[in-house]
Amino acid sequence: MQRHWRRRRPSGCSPRFDQNSGRIAVCLTGGSSPKALYQLLATPDYRARIPWDRVDWFIGDERLVPRKDKLHNMSMARQAFLDRCAPAANVHPIATDTADLRDPDISAALYENELMAFYGAEQLDPKRPLFDLVLMGIGPDGHIASLFPGYPAVEETQRWVVGVPKANVEPFVPRVSLTLPALASCREMLFEVAGETKRAILTRLFAGENLPANRARSLGETVWLIDQAALPEDSV
């Protein structure tokens, strides 16, 4: 298992699609941080590099709000690039829109079933990752996806997806999140961290504090792309 720290490349990045000649699975991250990256993927230069017909797009966590809500993670990704570039059948959102799906445990179970159907098994095989690429961000408390410090969901080892009844940070709405084992089942995990507001939490992570972001590791390579503004002073 490899882990690398890199400063963020100004020109952005793109998944290594040449490593898989079959179906490709990418797990996106939500929030505001990746929006610029997603918009970049829709530009002509990057759009031409992606074999859209064989890439399936999943989401690492979702807020249980209607699809038209600005807080909806997959809707942000759809507006930024997916609706313009990806076949609709290749986009796999977490269900949030009907009354009976406002229960995070129900939505989690449905998404877990969808992931298992895509993967073709109910147990993850370390030799066959679920995802080719998992994109990640970090929250101000060190959370990833919707796995918050001290929450039972962080310790889940059997399930692939869990319901999170209450968030630890705003917005305080129920969530659905992939678990650490599901997120780890990837060829590459790529963190993108930018801005001065991330410096405090990166200082804690660099010090080795036991936070979800320090427990997230790929089966293959884990890479952190960090811009100058986010780096703690003693790391510059």
- Whether the pLDDT of residue 31 is over 90: the answer is no
What confidence score (pLDDT) does residue 1 get? 38
- Mean pLDDT over residues 134-146, rounded? 95
pTM, two decimal places:
0.90
- Mean pLDDT over residues 151-176, rounded? 92
Output the DSSP codes for the chain: -EEEEEEPPTT-----GGG-SS-EEEEE--SSTTHHHHHHHTSHHHHTTS-GGGEEEEESEEESS-TTSTT-HHHHHIIIIIHHHS-GGGB-PPP-SSGGG-SHHHHHHHHHHHHHHHHTSSS-BTTB-SEEEEEE---TTS-BTTB-TT-GGGG--S-SEEEESS-SSSS-S-EEEE-HHHHHSEEEEEEEE-SGGGHHHHHHHHTT---HHHH---SSEEEEEE-GGGS-GGG-
